Structures are given as structure tokens and as C-alpha cells.
Amino acid sequence: MMLFYIFKAFRKIIRIVINPIYTPLAKLLFYLNSAKVGKGLKVAGLLKIDVTRRGKLIIGNNFQINSGNNFNVIGRQQKTIFWVEGDLTIGDNVGISATALICNHKISIGDNVKIGGNTVIYDTDFHNLDPVIRNDKTLDKQTAIKLPVLMKDNVFIGAHTTILKGVTIGKNSIIGACSVVTKNIPANEIWAGNPAKCIKIIK
């Protein structure tokens, strides 16, 4: 029993010591990547941030991030990833967990959006659909289709969802867990499935 209490105390001490460093470290990483971040940033866990010379990352106020194995533990945890070669903008009061934002062209996230754990958002196919072109690495990357992803205010994305290129998700809409979003979603609707379909209108 004594060992149990020692373990609990040790774990708590580690959290007290380590947890406060995550937000300052994230601020430094965003700064080094020339990202503009508003006030009230709160980060739990380590991030992976890579903004290229062509990339642009703008984040609003009160952005909250859970990242990695020890925060918002719901399974299939990963680091939160920002890979930006296009324009990525995130509004105010947004919360994400273990999310991968892969922006080759344009991703825009509105205000008061919640994105569940292990969600991935892609604005590109990454590769050409033609197998001949795909065998040429340079041409493959240059010709991959890229279309913007737009997420309006008050959207809620369930955990383990995949959102693909060219999708607009309307204001107040909800995406069920483990969905694959391949087409535009109007405002005030609940969608789920693979591919995601409308299952309910929000009154």
C-alpha cells in the first residue's frame, strides 16, 4: 500500500514540475516558425510545428491544445501536428486534441470550434491520381490536387475524424466520431459515417 502512495505522489510531483513548461515551449516553437499567436494560449504536451518559407500560420486568442499520450487520454494519441506550406488560420476560442493539420494550400478554422482527438485535416491529395505521374516524385507533388478546407464558427468535430480537401463545414454543425468528410456540410446539421452523411438537422 505504501508503494501505491509513493507512486501517486511521484506522479503528481512530475506533473507539477513538467506541465508548466509546455505552454512557454509551444510559444517559442510558434515564434521560431514565424507564426502569429493571440493571447491566452494553453498547451498540454509537446507539439510538432513545421511552417515552411511559403507557409503562413495565424492563430487567434484562447487557443487550447492537448497533445501526446498523457493529455485527454481517449486512445490512439499522437502529438498535435502543424505542417504548413499554405495559409492556415485559426480563430478565437478553439480547442484541439492530438490533431494533425496538414496545410499545403489553405485551411481556415472559425471561432469556438472544438476538434476531437486524433482528427486529421488534409487540404491536398498528396499524390497525383495518375500512376505514371505518381512515379515522378517532383511532378507528383507539383500536380497533386489542393483545395481549401473551411470550417465555420461553432463546429464540433468528433474524435478520429478525417476531413479531406475542398470541404466546407457550415456554422454550428457536428461531425460524429470516426467520420470521413469528403463533401460540403451545410450549417446546423449532424453528419457521421464513412463517407459522412447527414443524420440529423439541428433545430
Domains, in order of start, for the chain: 2-191 (2.160.10.10)
Rounded mean pLDDT, 134-148 = 89
pLDDT above 80: residue 10: no
Higher-scoring residue by pLDDT: 97, 6: 97
- In the chain, the amino acid numbered 55 is G
Residues in the chain: 203
162-163 sheet: strands from edge to edge:
47-51, 80-84, 100-103, 120-122, 162-163, 180-181
User: 196: pLDDT confidence band, cut at 50, 70 and 90?
Assistant: very high
Rounded mean pLDDT, 56-81 = 89
Grid cell of 68 as nine digits: 501526446
Rounded mean pLDDT, 4-13 = 68
Residues with catalytic roles: 127
Q: What 8-state DSSP symbol labels residue 29?
A: H
Rounded mean pLDDT, 106-110 = 98
pTM of the model: 0.89
User: 168: pLDDT confidence band, cut at 50, 70 and 90?
Assistant: very high
CA dihedral 63, 67, 70, 72 (to 10 degrees): 50
User: 9: pLDDT confidence band, cut at 50, 70 and 90?
Assistant: low
Rounded mean pLDDT, 152-175 = 98
What is residue 130's predicted lDDT score, i.e. its pLDDT? 86
